[in-house]
Amino acid sequence: MLDILHARLSEPIPEPELSKMWESERTTFTTGSGDGIDTFLTAPEMVIEAHDSGVELRFHSARPDVAHPRVKHAFERAVHRYRPNVRIDWQD
């Protein structure tokens, strides 16, 4: 099932930079390390589209009720690693 999350950032960040941030977070997940990701769930591959300060995240998940909060938290962690002062307001 395709899931889509929408967010508004306090400042625009170009798509390539957002993709770099997400891939950095995606590759740092260590299952069972207490980072909020279950041992059977890895950070999904996503299509990220940015329009000014709006961002759309598209990914596949079997259980949106479980995946959405985790993906949101991981995306926030990824952005704040590079830009700690950016505020992320979720539209969903």
Query: Which pair of structure tokens corresponds to residue 12?
Result: 């625009």
Its domain, for residue 15, covers 2-90
43-79 residue pLDDT tens: 778 899 999 999 999 988 777 777 788 889 989 999 9
Confidence of residue 40 (pLDDT cuts 50, 70, 90): very low
Number of domains making up the chain = 1
Residue 79: Cβ-neighbour burial (10 angstroms; 0-12, 13-18, 19+) = buried
User: Comparing C-alpha atoms, which of 52, 51, 43, 37 is closest to residue 21?
Assistant: 43
Q: What is the CATH number for 48?
A: 3.30.310
